[in-house]
Structure 1
Amino acid sequence: MMLQDGSTQLLCLTASSGVPLFTRGAHKQLPFSVIGSLNGVHMFGSGQGAVLSCCETEGGGKVVWRVFQDSVMLIAVSGGGGGRGGAGSSSSSKEEEYHLQRLLENVWNCLVLVLGQDELVNVRNVERLKRDLRSCFCLIDQLMEEKQEGILGNLTHCADSLMPPNPVLLQETLQGFAQAADSEFGCLIVHGRIAAATEKWWRLAPQEVVLLSALMRSLSTSGSVSCDYPVFLPQGSPTVAHRLLRFQLLPGADVCVLCGPTPSLHRAESGLVGRFWTPLVEHLRDCLAVGERCLPGSVSLRPDVLALFLINRETRRSVSCVRTPTNHSHSDLPLPSKPRCWELLKLFYIFSTTRYFTQEETVCVSPEERAQRSNTDNFILGFTHQPLQCYLVTEECKSFGLQTQQHQLFLLVPLSVPTFALRTMATQTLSDIVAATGF
């Protein structure tokens, strides 16, 4: 195989001439001859009226191609065998393809977010474009590495959220802060997740909300307490830049607004941040204390819930958490580790949404992208109805998926839980969370 098992490499080339623009990912880069061959076989197919979108190598790896705006070609190459499977080789292959296709979508949107669509479509100087693309590397690497556990928005295009114990006060403060900054778009990020956002922020395209959250996480790790960053909105404003003003309120808590020429960074930092957010320091600490659990203390989960992932289908928001039961008495049945639970949660989400459940985001994408995803619907077409529940039993745990008109819930539990009890557990867990939080 060209790459080590489990590694992924991203290639970016000009679509017309195949000139390499950058590569990211695996430590050992693919030889130039291989990159040229991957581009050449795609161009040959296009010349014959065939679109080559994905193929599988003899070693179990995957290669996925995607051309954006007839200008930029992105290729994702996976070494395979990296543990993404767990439900059989065929389903593992399907899940890997889904993962790589989503990566290419995110990377393109990332390039537009940072550089703007005109810079990518109307390439006047390739060498200059190569230099400009370096400003995207930090964000691209974050999308590829997925270092922060529990951040699933890159995969789901639902905003990773945190439910604070005092949502009304935070929401009112954020609304006032955004208005004072001449903006209708404001967002409070805690531990990399959205704790509060203005109404106009939630009206942004789901991909934009996810990418802006990723950018905020990237900026917060830079060490700066504030910044003024130009951004393009891939769906709403791909050719005209907005200003993203971001301020660190406490370590792990950041607030940002999208605005026009005013106010200046200095005026917002010196005159607005302290006025609005200093009285809420203790409330922000309470919000930070919620941590990776993402749910306030008012939500009581069953002790045998290993992990959960809940999506609000209407708002395109999600919450997730992984926990280790403290009273698990079946020591002969080892539980998966916390990192493995996150991995299994992602795998089960892909397994469920590519086979059983609907994906609302398809209404927000272009006809071209919708055609790219149509292959995943073949399995669903075999049903005379819309599946609302599914479950999967593996050697590590049991998983149950539940879909209602407003929610999708994905649950991981130990093998010791009887299979017949999974539906009741999921239904009760969803009811408890919605009753306590209104999510």
Structure 2
Amino acid sequence: MMMLQDGSTQLLCLTASSGVPLFTRGASKQLPFSIIGSLNGVHMFGGGQGVVLSCSETEGGGKVVWRVFQDSVMLIAVSGGCNGKEDDIHLQRLLENVWNCMVLVLGQDELVNIRNVERLKRDLRSCFRLIDQLLEERQEGFLGNLTHCVDSLLPPNPALLQEVLDGFAQAADSEFGCLIVHGRIAAATEKWWRLAPQEVVLLSALIRSLSGSAFCDYPVFLPQGSPTVAHRLLRFQLLPGADVCVLCGPTPSLHRAQDQLVGCFWSPLVEALRDCLAVGERCLPRSVSLRPDVLALLLINRETRRSVSCVPTSTYHPLSGPLLSKARCWDLLKLFYIFTISRYFTKEETLCVSPEDSAERGNTEDFLIGFSHQPQQCYLVTEECKSYGLQTPQHQLFLLVLPSVPTFALRTVATQTLSDIVAATGF
């Protein structure tokens, strides 16, 4: 039977040992308790027979993915729409992100050593806003949850912002600082970039979820670097849409940093910050000119694990008429990314490679057995658009263009787009 509406995803969290439900999030219509119990029971039965059940498809076209973390917490993702390997990758990434989110907010000890289930249920509510953000499929412009690369914005004046940010972080007794503009990282200290990519992605998501107040002091655990010892995340709003954050210890106090440091360092940069805000959802400075037939792009720096993505705001082309909606362009960009990495491109995640990523890489290698080489480029032609993927030692580019672009020209368009962005920004 079809358990959920097509395209919807529901997340279930249970204790691994006894199957006690801790929370459910996602689809508006929750699964009946009997089905939740059955999903847990079939996994436990498999474990008793020496079989690890990781995923299954239903007769109605849904997909279920299980994963147990630290022999303590079981996460189950149930999807109403089944897109084969693509859906598998998406759901596995979701489970990993949710677990890391829970560690980020509560710390690993509280999740591994469960002393009081009812208290844990209450504590987990503080994770719901961030978990709901991970489940939200319409987060246009934010792909880090899927790519495990940090959503970035390339400012027109990076050197000035970097110098001030480094000085601000040092004055706040921290080596970890970042400037967030429109929810994306515009500048960060060297140590911030050295955090595991998944940690930086989740910290960015957490900062977006905390927006709305002028400043805050929030305890966080780093899922890879410090899962049992909390740090303080200090966030200050500089301008609407622009926030500066640092990870620090007991000092400075929130009010000392707000009163003595923020204005001193950032007031002289108000115009530079406004120029940075003006870049907007495009994420690229005006020095980069995109072809008018580009519908969407995702550019990943494979060395730094950073990414920039955008859908140009134009919705009408003089020759082609109305274009795809922005939401549809983002959906197609995600699908093309998953299609490409699950079949053609390898992903060197040198930091914190998860079992799912290793299995995913194995699936890719199985698919590539028929090739005599490692593919570096691929393309896909559909009625809605044409897509081209390009991989170099340092970059991966995923490009969507109008169907009217000749197929033989796709490679030239992609290589020229990559060259223009790198030449203008050094990304």
Give the TM-score of the pair, scaled to structure 1. Answer: 0.95
Q: Structure 1: how far apart are the matches of 2:18 and 2:343?
A: 38
Paired residue type of 2:84: S
2:123 counterpart of 1:132: yes
Query: 1:19-418 maps to which residues of 2 (within 5 A)?
Result: 19-80=20-81, 92-220=83-211, 223-323=212-312, 324=314, 327-331=317-321, 335-361=323-349, 364-366=352-354, 370-371=358-359, 374-418=362-406
Structure 2: any 5+ residue segments left out of the alignment? none
Q: Taking every aligned residue pair, what percent have the same amino acid on both sides? A: 85
The 3-state SS of whatever aligns with 2:349 is helix
Q: Deviations over 1:161-190 (max 9, x none)?
A: 000011000000000000000000000000
Match of 1:422 in 2: 410
Matched length: 425
The 3-state SS of whatever aligns with 1:262 is coil
Paired residue type of 1:329: L
CA 1:146/1:178 → structure 2, altered by over 3 Å: closer, same or farther? farther
Deviation, 1:96, is: 1.0
User: Does the aligned pair in 1 maintain the 2:297–2:309 contact within 8 Å?
Assistant: yes
User: Does the aligned pair in 2 maintain the 1:354–1:377 contact within 8 Å?
Assistant: no
User: Does the aligned pair in 1 maintain the 2:64–2:76 contact within 8 Å?
Assistant: yes
CA 1:35/1:326 → structure 2, altered by over 3 Å: closer, same or farther? closer
Q: Structure 2: how far apart are the matches of 1:366 and 1:319?
A: 23
The 3-state SS of whatever aligns with 2:331 is helix
Deviation, 1:97, is: 1.1
Paired residue type of 1:232: F
Deviation, 1:335, is: 2.6
CA 1:70/1:168 → structure 2, altered by over 3 Å: closer, same or farther? same
The 3-state SS of whatever aligns with 1:374 is helix
Q: Structure 2: how far apart are the matches of 1:99 and 1:265?
A: 38
Paired residue type of 1:96: D
Q: Deviations over 1:288-307 (max 9, x none)?
A: 01000000000011111111
User: Does the aligned pair in 2 maintain the 1:113–1:238 contact within 8 Å?
Assistant: yes
CA 1:377/1:19 → structure 2, altered by over 3 Å: closer, same or farther? farther
The 3-state SS of whatever aligns with 1:132 is helix
User: Does the aligned pair in 1 maintain the 2:333–2:398 contact within 8 Å?
Assistant: yes
The 3-state SS of whatever aligns with 2:66 is strand
Deviation, 1:146, is: 4.0
Paired residue type of 2:389: G
Q: Structure 1: how far apart are the matches of 2:184 and 2:147?
A: 14
Q: Deviations over 1:233-285 (max 9, x none)?
A: 00000000000000011111001000000000000000000000111011111
Deviation, 1:325, is: 6.4
User: Does the aligned pair in 2 maintain the 1:335–1:397 contact within 8 Å?
Assistant: no
Paired residue type of 1:13: L
CA 1:415/1:275 → structure 2, altered by over 3 Å: closer, same or farther? same
Q: Structure 2: how far apart are the matches of 1:54 and 1:311?
A: 29
The 3-state SS of whatever aligns with 2:29 is coil
Paired residue type of 1:26: A
User: Does the aligned pair in 2 maintain the 1:362–1:370 contact within 8 Å?
Assistant: no
Q: Structure 2: how far apart are the matches of 1:368 and 1:345?
A: 22
Give the TM-score of the pair, scaled to structure 2. Answer: 0.97
Greater shift in the superposed pair: 51-60 or 133-142: 51-60
Q: Structure 2: how far apart are the matches of 1:117 and 1:367?
A: 19
Deviation, 1:329, is: 0.5
Q: Structure 1: how far apart are the matches of 2:320 and 2:138?
A: 31
Q: Structure 1: how far apart are the matches of 2:250 and 2:36?
A: 43
CA 1:369/1:127 → structure 2, altered by over 3 Å: closer, same or farther? farther
Structure 1: any 5+ residue segments left out of the alignment? 82-91
